[in-house]
Amino acid sequence: MTSFTSGSRKKQVRFQPKDDLVLLREVLAKNPFQNKSAWNEIALSVADTRSNLQVDARRVREKTHLLIDQHKKSNADSLKSSGIDEEYGEKETLLDEILSLVEDEEKQKEKQKQKKEKEENRGKDIRKRAMENLTPKKGDDDSNDATPSKRNSSGNIVGYLKEKNDAEMIY
């Protein structure tokens, strides 16, 4: 049975305020909300800023979402305490811009979802109407005429053969 050693677990990373700014700038520049693979590039860029900072795409993504959540909460708190002038730094500006990117991407996904649902509903409607046209309806007198009985069809065959035989006799 294998036991987990402390070496197999990744070291906890402490982001400093300057690391947060680098992270937010990279997120804003690469827009990973639109292209999920950009998180790897952002992680590499952030790791290059400090020699002892080892981060992967997951940690960068989680830290970004944590910063966004904290910013949303602070915005809600500042709305409650209106009338207070607050300092607005680069970090808050970057977070506001990133928040708008997130909201734009969510709107885009919602539009795509609605378009897909509309297409599916239209397809279902077309299939339903096609099935209604194919299946005979009860109480329809025309439906009885459309499908001849076996007796009529065999009579039609006999009549056809008779006509064919008569036509051959003439020649």
Q: Write down the pTM of the prediction.
A: 0.59
17 confidence band (pLDDT: 50, 70, 90): confident
Q: Which helix (H) or strand (E) holds 30?
A: helix 17-30
CB 132 within 8 A of CB 105: no
Annotate 132-165 with three-state secondary structure: HHHCCCCCCHHHHHHCCCHHHHHHHHHHHHHHHH
Amino acid at 110: E
- pLDDT, residue 64, reads 92
- The pLDDT tens digits for 97-116 are 999 999 999 999 999 999 99
Mean pLDDT of the chain: 80
pLDDT at 118: 93
Whole-number Å distance between alpha carbons of 33 and 42? 12
The length of the chain is 171
Q: Which of 70-74, 84-88, 144-148 has the lowest mean pLDDT?
A: 144-148
* Percent of the chain with pLDDT strictly greater than 90: 26
pLDDT in tens, 43-62: 888 888 877 778 888 999 99
Contact call for residues 22 and 46 (beta carbons, < 8 A): yes
pLDDT of residue 148: 52
Per the structure block, which two tokens stand in for 61?
């993504």
Rounded to an integer, the average pLDDT of 17-30 is 89
